[in-house]
Amino acid sequence: MTDTDIDPIRQFLACETPDAWVDAALDSLDTLLIDHANCEKKAAGTALNMLFRYVDRPRLLTALSKLAREELRHFEQVLKVMQSRGVTYRHLSSSRYAGGLFSHVRQREPGRVIDSLIVGAIIEARSCERFHRLSQRIDGDLGRFYADLLASEARHFQIYLSLARQCAGSPIDSRVQELLEAERALIVAPDKELRFHGGPPAPSG
């Protein structure tokens, strides 16, 4: 088990993951693993897209390249866990989470790059918080796997937030809070289907 301190993550996020989401995730671990694999692919893709878009920002390039590689390694690790548990990789619809967050990104530069990096930090922070919640409730190899991911997710959060501050060159606290509030709304709103970054299950009926 890792001894990663996630207090800075909790203090950063505007809310905790609802208990109802954790309970639903524990009841649908196969679906959770499949969507986790999808999230790792998307995280790598986001870093690569920014790598191509911002070739004129050399400060970003090395950091984003390293992030993309690590996200793909995580993807491979999730695949290995799925295979060990006999989980078949199948198509899942996307959650509204990432799209909802990125819909708040400004379209003009430098607002676009700053917001994109802040959103990256928020997503990594939420992943870290959820891995921690899950690792406290799941025994065996899967619980240890989630616990082992905490350090890298916390580091990715710090990298994205630091890059956002560097690109801005001025305080970004108010913008961070605006995007965190948008994230909070997505996290607490019910979802019909379980997804790794989704909200708690919607009431049936």
Q: What's the pLDDT score for residue 100?
A: 97
pTM of the predicted model as reported, rounded to 2 decimal places: 0.96
Output the CA torsion 20→25→26→28 (10° steps).
130
pLDDT in tens, the chain (205 residues): 346 789 999 999 999 999 999 999 999 999 999 999 999 999 999 999 999 999 999 989 999 999 999 999 999 999 999 999 999 999 999 999 999 999 999 999 999 999 999 999 999 999 999 999 999 999 999 999 999 999 999 999 999 999 999 999 999 999 999 999 999 999 999 999 999 999 999 987 5
Q: Please answer whether residues 157 and 121 qualify as being in contact, where contact means their C-beta atoms are separated by less than 8 angstroms.
A: yes
Neighbours of 25 (CB within 10 A): 25
User: What secondary structure does DSSP assign to the chain, as a single string?
Assistant: ------HHHHHHSSSPPPHHHHHHHHH-HHHHHHHHHHHHHHHHHHHHHHHHHTTT-HHHHHHHHHHHHHHHHHHHHHHHHHHHTTPPP---PPPSHHHHHHTTS-SSTTHHHHHHHHHHHHHHHHHHHHHHHHHHH--HHHHHHHHHHHHHHHHHHHHHHHHHHHHH-S--HHHHHHHHHHHHHHHHS-BSS--TT--SBPPP-
